[in-house]
């Protein structure tokens, strides 16, 4: 479904991605794990068109995403839940959700999708008139995911959804990702928390200083010594 080939990205003089390649099959959960500054966010930003790579190709369903301006990529169904959630703090919960549907015209289906989001996250429904900025971290993450669902994703990319959240909330968020995937959504999950990410995912890629160090079936990566040493804190 998504094919990323030999991406090279620079920020000024900094070589952030050095020939990243990976593939995502439809219906799968693929995770990209790696430490601070490895290039995970940069990879997602490049797919969403927020940064332009120097080299490389990104193909989504046989379309060249690099030829599409960033604001149209969402319309293709490539939707991102950005690092740090980035919800609109001065809009209320429902307005935030509706911003996800900004490009859509199918009013009726939008209403159904809103109900779908409220069904997945009943807490958002209770707080629908509350300002985004007043939500707790976990609720903000739910809102960011809900907002992405409102964009009708075919590929949902999540950048460290577990960041800064209590384990019980993380579990809830990951349950939800699993639920969405069970309903047919393809997921690209970026995480520092390799343990939970690999348990959920089908396929894993390990990214180190802008390169894919190695990859494989998520379940086998969990048992891989290199992963256990570097990312699961085991000796």
Ligand X SMILES: Nc1ncnc2c1ncn2[C@@H]1O[C@H](COP(=O)(O)OP(=O)(O)OP(=O)(O)O)[C@@H](O)[C@H]1O
Q: What is the DSSP string of 61-78?
A: TTEEGGGS-HHHHGGGTE
Which positions from 63 to 82 touch ligand X by CB under 6 A, shown as an x/- string? --------------------
Nearer to another protein, 1 or 78 (CB): 78
Is residue 166 a contact point for another protein (CB under 8 A)?
no
What is the spatial distance between Cα 50 and Cα 69, in angstroms, rounded to a whole number?
A: 9
Residues contacting another protein: total by CB under 8 A: 25
| Binder of residue 71, out of Mg ion, ligand X, another protein, none (CB less than 5 to 8 A by kind) | another protein
Is residue 183 a contact point for ligand X (CB under 6 A)?
no
Which positions from 4 to 23 touch ligand X by CB under 6 A, shown as an x/- string? -------x--x-x-------
* Two tokens, residue 14: 């900094």
Is residue 215 a contact point for Mg ion (CB under 5 A)?
no
- Burial pattern 38-68, b for ≥16 Cβ within 10 A else e, equals bbbbbbbbbbbbebebeebebebeeeebbeb
Give 22's strand partners.
4
Tell me which DSSP letter residue 135 carries: S
Q: Give strand ranges (E) for the chain.
A: 2-11, 14-24, 29-33, 55-60, 63-64, 78-81, 155-159, 186-191, 203-208, 211-217
Among 30-38, 64-72, 97-105, 136-144, the segment contacting ligand X (CB under 6 A): 30-38
> What part of residues 56-115 is at the interface with another protein (CB under 8 A)?
69-72, 74-75, 79-80, 82, 86-91, 95, 99-100, 102-103
Name the residue with tokens 């209590």: 166
Name the phi and psi angles at 203, rounded to 5: -130, 145
Nearer to Mg ion, 114 or 198 (CB): 198
Please give the residue ranges that form the binding site for Mg ion (CB under 5 A): 40-41, 83
Please give the residue ranges that form the binding site for another protein (CB under 8 A): 48-50, 69-72, 74-75, 79-80, 82, 86-91, 95, 99-100, 102-103, 147, 151
């Amino acid at each position: 479904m998504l094919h990323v080939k030999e991406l090279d990205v620079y920020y000024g003089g900094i070589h952030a991605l050095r020939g990243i390649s990976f593939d995502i099959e439809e219906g799968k959960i693929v995770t990209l794990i790696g430490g601070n500054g490895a290039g995970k966010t940069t990879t997602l930003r490049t797919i969403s068109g927020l940064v332009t790579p120097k080299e490389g190709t990104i193909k989504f369903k046989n379309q060249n995403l690099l030829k599409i301006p960033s604001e149209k990529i969402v319309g293709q169904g490539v939707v991102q839940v950005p690092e740090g959630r980035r919800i609109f703090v001065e809009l209320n919960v429902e307005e935030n959700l509706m911003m996800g549907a900004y490009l859509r015209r199918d009013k009726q289906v939008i209403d159904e999708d809103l109900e779908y989001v409220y069904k997945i996250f009943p807490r958002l429904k209770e707080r629908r008139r509350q300002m985004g900025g007043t939500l707790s971290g976990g609720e903000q993450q739910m809102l960011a995911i809900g907002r992405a669902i409102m964009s009708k994703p075919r590929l949902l990319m999540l950048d460290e959804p577990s960041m800064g959240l209590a384990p019980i909330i993380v579990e809830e968020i990951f349950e939800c990702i699993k639920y969405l995937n069970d309903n047919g959504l393809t997921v690209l999950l970026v995480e520092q928390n390799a343990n939970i990410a690999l348990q959920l995912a089908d396929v894993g890629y390990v990214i180190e200083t802008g390169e894919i160090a190695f990859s494989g079936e998520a379940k086998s990566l969990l048992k891989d010594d290199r992963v256990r040493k570097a990312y699961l804190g085991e000796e």
